[in-house]
Amino acid sequence: MSFDLLAEPIRRYVRDQRWESLRPIQAAAIQHILATDDNYILASRTASGKTEAAFLPILSKVDFRQPGVRVLYISPLIALINDQFHRIEQLCKYLEVRVTKWHGEASRAEKKKLVQQPEGIVLITPESLEAMFVNAPYSVSALFAQLQYVVIDEIHSFLGTDRGIHLKSLLSRLEAVTVARSFAVVGLSATIGDYAEAKRFTGHEDRTKVLLDRASKEMLTSFRYFPATEAGGDLPLSLLKDLYKQTSNSKVLIFPNSRGLAEVIAVKLRQIADRVGGHDKYFSHHSSVDKEVREYVEHFAKHNQRQPFCIACTSTLELGIDIGSVEKVVQVDAAHSIASLIQRVGRSGRRDGEQSQLLLYATKPWSLLQSLACWLLYREGFVEPLRTATQPYDLLLHQALSTVKQLSGCPEAELVARLHANAAFSTIAPAQTAGILAELLRIGWLERIGQEVIIGVEGEYVVSSRDFYSVFKTEPAFKVQHAGKTIGEIPLTPQVKENENLLLAARIWKIKYIDEKAKKIEVMPAHDGKKPIFLGGGGVVDARIRTKMLELLSHPSQHPELDEASQEALRELRQEFAGFTLSDTAHQRPVLVKEGKLVLFTFTGTRINRSLVFLLNCLDAPVTYAYQEEDSSFTLALTPAQLPGLVEQLRLFAIDVYGYLEVAVRENPGLLDFAKWGASLPVTCQCGVLKERYFDFEGTADFLQNTLLVFSQLPQAASFTDGFQEGV
DNA sequence: GACCTGCTGCGGAGTG
């Protein structure tokens, strides 16, 4: 049925592929895309042919004899563009349509040719599109004036992120240069939790539809518990031995949540394999491993059908790039989000009829509890809700500079109007935009010439810098080399000294010398070393995960997926909370009374805990406290009678926090380090960015208002506010 | 107790 709707050359392509049938998502996409000019989100599991689902109908529909680029494909990764280029080019040979890669590592000659004769399909990254707007705005209109379709791959990776707001703004600006003032958008993804958000992303929620294939693969899951021997130490040997036994004969991906631990696992498993005569295909894969080394690992995994292998990796192997069939996925300690767990699980079982396995290791009781909570929520189909910023002042600042550069200056009123008309910034009031522009004029990033604003002297440095095109920050790093070969890149931490040993790319190295000027570290092979240290902020855990953890502690549910040691660890943890009778885990929170102190377990998300820490530091009469993210607990030097009063005080601060935020941001500008362009905003906007993206004071006030405290040694529950009234 | 992502234009040397 759907097949017959395709153009003849495309039908020939499908026949030549010898596919038995079209996949469900392909059949649905063909019917819908050919019938309407609406936007579509195509959601179905990895390796289900989404690229073809989009391109078969689009190529059948679009008239490529017209001049101009007709289809633009946008990807979050260069590697994905290179992957997709081959597939799309194969398909386009049947139509004699030109396909051009346009990213930082693509051929300049090809780009130049395309500008001279704009046609066909272009594959691009958001940053390259940004660069084109800034450096060659005439090319943007020359290439894209006749644009008919924009395909966004892995669209979930943009949703709810700064990079997503950036891309949304670029799409809005792109629409403005097309003759038709619009194009259709097709978004592709395997993991979308929030379809409304995906629809809004296209800029036209009302004419965006979702085509969804829910089919998924069953995984054989088991939890395994090996308690860490020392705090902050490496993994216990018993875990590594078990891990080796479980994985030595399979094709495996191991996700240990950090680059350092990925190295430890790859090196230690290789050492065990050496001793017992196992295979030697142990790799590590993360951002600090050299790109060529990573490509070799990906290539090996993809083209190797029979041999077992093991890759210890971070989120570099979560997205899109096809690495062939994986039989087992191992997660060491809890994944930071359910969205991430879904992507990781999705890396295995790409072939039909293959049984795949998920192994969840834990080294600490709380991590086991969190891991179990995440897995149960994943099974329930829960994905963290996305919070797209409604006041992204920092991204507006970036796009304001980019727009002024694009237009070579423009009247201030027109700039304000353009930014307001941009779908990414429609929720920002023009008065706020004017305030941001005033600040840019004040610091010399913009200048006023007559009626127009242009890029200022200081601004030229910013806009001309290589770092301008992206909205995310990166840490400076040193190249690690051995005998002329680059192994990877690491930040210069105190650990990096001559004669120190470190692990990188699944090997052990001794540092020979450090060339500060050239930013290079020369190393030689060694036999023993420490894991590399990387600097990073903390993770953000959703409140729903913490509530699930509390439910697991309060209700004696059975989980056959847990091994004996895990069962025992869970039993012990439940025992610690046996003194509390919690009937309403949505609102009740336990407070342990011991040794003249209180331990308040908030069981809420990182943002609210973070806000509570901030509010505690605002108090006029300081309270001694210690906060732990692992078990979401606050240890307070208070008596039970004092707690309700404190809580009410914090709630009042949370409702009217602005003054405190302003003081904090002036005293400690580092608070805004998470926002690349935040430092140049007016202080009011800086506070707005902090409030919306780092803290959650509204949620905190809500939490403080509605939570019922259950003390371990008091007979009955007391509400925060009740308690406060009693205290008065 | 984190992880990831991308990048222009120019000059000059080397190559065909």
Cβ A629 to strand B below 7 Å: yes
From the CA of A647 to the C1' of B6: give the distance in Å: 45
In terms of C-beta density within 10 A (0-12 exposed, 13-18 middle, 19 or more buried), how is residue A315 classed? middle
Buried b (16+ CB within 10 A) or exposed e, A221-234: bbbbbbebeeeeeb
The H or E element spanning position A210 is strand A208-212
Cβ A127 to strand B below 7 Å: yes
Average pLDDT over residues A30-51: 92
From the CA of A377 to the C1' of B5: give the distance in Å: 27
Residue A233's pLDDT is 61
Residue A254's pLDDT is 96
Of A561, A48, A52, A81, which Cα lies nearest the Cα of A349?
A48
Which bin fits A501, alpha (ψ -120 to 50), beta or left (φ > 0)?
A: beta
User: Which pLDDT band holds residue A53 (cuts at 50, 70, 90)?
Assistant: very high
In chain A, residues 21 through 60 whose Cβ sits under 7 angstroms from any atom of nucleic acid strand B? none
Per-residue tokens: A727: 């205290």
Cβ A316 to strand B below 7 Å: yes
The 10 Å Cβ neighbour count of residue A673 is: 13
Q: pLDDT digits over A261-287, tens only?
A: 999 999 999 999 999 999 999 999 998
From the CA of A157 to the C1' of B4: give the distance in Å: 10
Average pLDDT over residues A573-583: 91
In chain A, residues 212 through 271 whose Cβ sits under 7 angstroms from any atom of nucleic acid strand B? 232, 257-260
Cβ A536 to strand B below 7 Å: yes
Of A458, A523, A454, which Cα lies nearest the Cα of A486?
A523
- The DSSP letter of residue A530 is B
Residue A599's pLDDT is 95
Is the predicted pLDDT of residue A192 greater than 80, yes or no?
Answer: no
Tokens 């997205």 correspond to A319
Is the predicted pLDDT of residue A715 greater than 70, yes or no?
Answer: no
Using the CA of A106, which nucleotide's C1' is the nearest one?
A: B7
A271 Cβ partners below 8 Å, 6+ apart?
Answer: none
Cβ A340 to strand B below 7 Å: yes
Average pLDDT over residues A704-721: 71
The pTM (predicted TM-score) of the whole model is 0.92
Bridge pairing between strands A478-482 and A520-525: parallel
Contact A535, A528 (CB under 8 A): no
Average pLDDT over residues A219-246: 87
Pairwise CA distance, residues A332 & A61, whole Å: 47
User: Which pLDDT band holds residue A492 (cuts at 50, 70, 90)?
Assistant: confident
C-alpha separations of A300 from A278, A282, A296, A596 in Å: 18, 11, 6, 59
Pairwise CA distance, residues A678 & A482, whole Å: 39
From the CA of A472 to the C1' of B10: give the distance in Å: 26
Average pLDDT over residues A526-530: 78
Return phi, psi of residue A677, to 5°: -105, 10
In terms of C-beta density within 10 A (0-12 exposed, 13-18 middle, 19 or more buried), how is residue A670 classed? exposed
Cβ A467 to strand B below 7 Å: yes
Residue nearest to nucleotide B3 (CA to C1'): A315
Q: Which of A30-34, A47-51, A447-451 has the lowest mean pLDDT?
A: A47-51
- Write down the H helix ranges in A7-77: 8-17, 24-35, 50-61
Contact A672, A693 (CB under 8 A): no
Q: Which residue has the higher pLDDT, A483 or A112?
A: A112
- The DSSP letter of residue A447 is E
Residue A659's pLDDT is 94
Structurally, at CATH architecture level, domain A2-212 sits in 3-Layer(aba) Sandwich (3.40)
Per-residue tokens: A311: 């890759």
Residue A239's pLDDT is 95
From the CA of A102 to the C1' of B11: give the distance in Å: 23
The fold for domain A393-469 equals Arc Repressor Mutant, subunit A (1.10.10)
Per-residue tokens: A287: 């951002």
Same fold, A2-212 and A219-379: yes
Q: In chain A, where are the structural domains located?
A: 2-212, 219-379, 393-469, 478-525, 577-727
From the CA of A369 to the C1' of B7: give the distance in Å: 42
A311 Cβ partners below 8 Å, 6+ apart?
Answer: A252, A253, A254, A266, A283, A284, A285, A297, A301, A317
Angle at A299 between CA A297 and CA A304, to 5 degrees: 100
Per-residue tokens: A493: 């931490």
Residue A632's pLDDT is 95
In terms of C-beta density within 10 A (0-12 exposed, 13-18 middle, 19 or more buried), how is residue A618 classed? middle
Pairwise CA distance, residues A316 & A301, whole Å: 14
Return phi, psi of residue A523, to 5°: -130, 165
Residue A535's pLDDT is 65
What is the DSSP secondary-structure string of A151-180?
Answer: EETTGGGTTTSHHHHHHHHHHHHHHHHSTT
Residue A728's pLDDT is 26
User: Which pLDDT band holds residue A724 (cuts at 50, 70, 90)?
Assistant: very low
Is the predicted pLDDT of residue A726 greater than 50, yes or no?
Answer: no
Of A547, A630, A546, A641, which Cα lies nearest the Cα of A598?
A641
What size, in residues, is chain A?
728
Contact A186, A211 (CB under 8 A): no
Cβ A331 to strand B below 7 Å: no
Residue A727's pLDDT is 30
From the CA of A407 to the C1' of B16: give the distance in Å: 41
Q: Which of A70-84, A281-295, A315-329 has the lowest mean pLDDT?
A: A315-329
User: With the C-alpha atoms ordered A258, A261, A266, A269, is the resulting torsion angle positive or negative?
Assistant: negative
Return phi, psi of residue A463, to 5°: -70, -30
Residue A318's pLDDT is 86
Using the CA of A536, which nucleotide's C1' is the nearest one?
A: B2
User: Which pLDDT band holds residue A537 (cuts at 50, 70, 90)?
Assistant: low
Overall CATH class of domain A219-379: alpha beta
Is the predicted pLDDT of residue A725 greater than 50, yes or no?
Answer: no
User: With the C-alpha atoms ordered A283, A289, A291, A293, is the resulting torsion angle positive or negative?
Assistant: negative
Residue nearest to nucleotide B1 (CA to C1'): A538
What is the DSSP secondary-structure string of A603-650?
Answer: ---HHHHHHHHHHHTT-SS---EEEETTTTEEEES--TTTHHHHHHHH
From the CA of A268 to the C1' of B2: give the distance in Å: 22
Residue A310's pLDDT is 96
Using the CA of A287, which nucleotide's C1' is the nearest one?
A: B4
Contact A288, A300 (CB under 8 A): no
Pairwise CA distance, residues A346 & A253, whole Å: 11
Cβ A539 to strand B below 7 Å: yes
Q: Which of A250-259, A334-343, A577-586, A713-722 has the lowest mean pLDDT?
A: A713-722
Is the predicted pLDDT of residue A13 greater than 70, yes or no?
Answer: yes
- The DSSP letter of residue A532 is P
User: Which pLDDT band holds residue A702 (cuts at 50, 70, 90)?
Assistant: very high
User: Which pLDDT band holds residue A100 (cuts at 50, 70, 90)?
Assistant: very high
Cβ A336 to strand B below 7 Å: yes
Is the predicted pLDDT of residue A723 greater than 70, yes or no?
Answer: no
Pairwise CA distance, residues A573 & A370, whole Å: 12
Average pLDDT over residues A414-421: 97
Residue nearest to nucleotide B8 (CA to C1'): A466
Residue A353's pLDDT is 64
Q: pLDDT digits over A435-451, tens only?
A: 999 999 999 999 999 98
Is the predicted pLDDT of residue A33 greater than 50, yes or no?
Answer: yes
Average pLDDT, chain A: 91
Protein footprint on strand B: which nucleotides are under 7 Å from a CB?
A: 1-9
The 10 Å Cβ neighbour count of residue A300 is: 16
The one-letter amino acid code at A640 reads: P
The 10 Å Cβ neighbour count of residue A244 is: 20
pLDDT above 70 covers a percentage of chain A that reads 96
User: Which pLDDT band holds residue A245 (cuts at 50, 70, 90)?
Assistant: very high
From the CA of A457 to the C1' of B12: give the distance in Å: 29
Bridge pairing between strands A452-455 and A446-449: antiparallel
